[in-house]
Amino acid sequence: MKILVTGGAGFIGSHTVLTLLEEGHEVTVIDNLINSAVDSLERVEGLTGKKINFCEGDLLDYGRLRALFDQEEFDSVVHFAGLKAVGESAEEPLRYYRNNVVGTLNLLECMADAGVYSLVFSSSATVYGASENVPLIEGTPLGAINPYGRTKQQIEDILTDLSAADPRWRVAVLRYFNPVGAHESGRIGEDPKGTPNNLLPYVAQVAAGRRDKVTVFGSDYNTEDGTGVRDYIHVMDLAAGHIAALNFIANKNGIFRWNLGTGRGSSVLEVVSAFQKASGRPIPYEVGPRRSGDAAVSYADPSAALVDLGWRARRDLSQMCSDHWAWQEANPFGYTHQAGS
């Protein structure tokens, strides 16, 4: 198939582009590089020996997007492009709603006009809000608790309405839990700009000596060791989930929602210890206060994806940490960042 990948230069996008190319698909990426570098795609070309058609462009630039759909014929779209920092979304809600929601509306209009009705959308477990009714199933009532999460929930609503209005749509909504790790080559991986918000990239930078210590956000939760529990999932397993979803919607109309997680929760201290083991480096930590808005426990019931898609996550926490470390060690400052940036 010929697939348009929005946000394909980013963390999950680049790993999925690699997998799509390996599966024999033709890929065009549109990305404004607001949170990524084109180097990721160059490295994917190097790893696969295949060419990516790259369009540097913004989903908010309707004319650019329309021109792309006029120039090329796509069978399907995988839509990663979005802003994703929770704290930033609370400070700049309008920017988040515009970028994520309006960007998606532009995309959907161009798709409909071009007669492209197949879409895989990056949603997030964040749509479940603070629900601790674990394991989380797709039918759990949604209740995002921050602007970022609400952009995802609103987009899910838009896709639901669109699918109800026009039965030609074939939409897969994928709710990712906590994507981590990197391609086994260590050539591509997550490259956060500034201070990482998420645990794994932060821990990796401590292991690399870029930061002094990890702050554990609370140790008084009602969990086995008192620290927060999450469902970390290897990014290559996630990439495989996109292929499975694309195959599923190739000949099924309607909208489908799947959790992509392992079904297993790991605590902050378990992650620190697994990363220490994988890297062979000490990872000092101190316990600090809880981060506001954090749930104690979040993990998926991923059985719907297994039943419908035949997909399940295969890599464990130790492999997530060792692949993440291989990337971090080989690229201590990411793709193009300079020390200290």
Q: How many residues bind ligand UD1, per CB under 6 A?
A: 22
Decide whether 150 or 183 has the Cβ nearer to ligand UD1.
Answer: 150
Which region, judged by CB under 6 A, interacts with ligand NAD, from 55-63, 163-171, 245-253, 298-306?
55-63
Q: Which of 54, 69, 74, 80 binds ligand NAD (CB under 6 A)?
A: 80
- Which x/- pattern, by CB under 6 A, does the window 71-90 give for ligand UD1? ---------------x----
Concerning whether 148 is annotated as a catalytic residue, the answer is yes
- 216 binds ligand UD1, rule: CB under 6 A: yes
- 126 binds ligand UD1, rule: CB under 6 A: yes
Decide whether 21 or 235 has the Cβ nearer to ligand UD1.
Answer: 235
Pairing of the two strands 266-267 and 254-260: unpaired
Of 148, 202, 221, 299, the active-site residue reads 148
How near is the Cβ of 2 to ligand UD1 at its closest, in Å?
29
- 293 binds ligand UD1, rule: CB under 6 A: yes
Q: Which of 95, 193, 291, 314 binds ligand UD1 (CB under 6 A)?
A: 291
- Which x/- pattern, by CB under 6 A, does the window 160-199 give for ligand UD1? ------------------x------------------xxx
Residue 32's binding partner among ligand UD1, ligand NAD, none (Cβ under 5 to 8 angstroms by kind) is ligand NAD
Q: Which of 22, 23, 26, 34 binds ligand NAD (CB under 6 A)?
A: 34
How near is the Cβ of 340 to ligand UD1 at its closest, in Å?
19
Residue 65's binding partner among ligand NAD, ligand UD1, none (Cβ under 5 to 8 angstroms by kind) is none
- 60 binds ligand NAD, rule: CB under 6 A: yes
| Closest to 42 measured CA to CA, from 64, 5, 17, 65 | 17
CB 167 within 8 A of CB 161: no
The first and second tokens of residue 297, run together, are 């426990």
| Closest to 27 measured CA to CA, from 100, 85, 80, 90 | 80
Q: Which of 3, 7, 136, 147 binds ligand NAD (CB under 6 A)?
A: 7
- 176 binds ligand NAD, rule: CB under 6 A: yes
Decide whether 28 or 298 has the Cβ nearer to ligand UD1.
Answer: 298
| HEC secondary structure over the chain | CEEEEECCCCHHHHHHHHHHHHCCCEEEEEECCCCCCCHHHHHHHHHHCCCCEEEECCCCCHHHHHHHHHHCCCCEEEECCCCCCHHHHHHCHHHHHHHHHHHHHHHHHHHHHHCCCEEEEEEEHHHHCCCCCCCECCCCCCCCCCHHHHHHHHHHHHHHHHHHHCCCCEEEEEEECEEECCCCCCCCCCCCCCCCCCHHHHHHHHHCCCCCCEEEECCCCCCCCCCCEECEEEHHHHHHHHHHHHHHHCCCCEEEEEEECCCCCEEHHHHHHHHHHHHCCCCCEEEECCCCCCCCEECECCHHHHHHHCCCCCCCHHHHHHHHHHHHHHCCCCCCCCCCC
How near is the Cβ of 174 to ligand UD1 at its closest, in Å?
13
Q: Could you give the count of Cα atoms lying within 13 Å of 333 in the half-sphere of its Cβ?
A: 6
Q: Which parts of this chain interact with ligand NAD (CB under 6 A)?
A: 7, 9-13, 30-36, 58-60, 80-84, 99, 103, 122, 124, 176, 179
Q: Which parts of this chain interact with ligand UD1 (CB under 6 A)?
A: 86, 124-126, 148-149, 178, 197-199, 202, 214-217, 228, 230, 268, 291, 293-294, 298
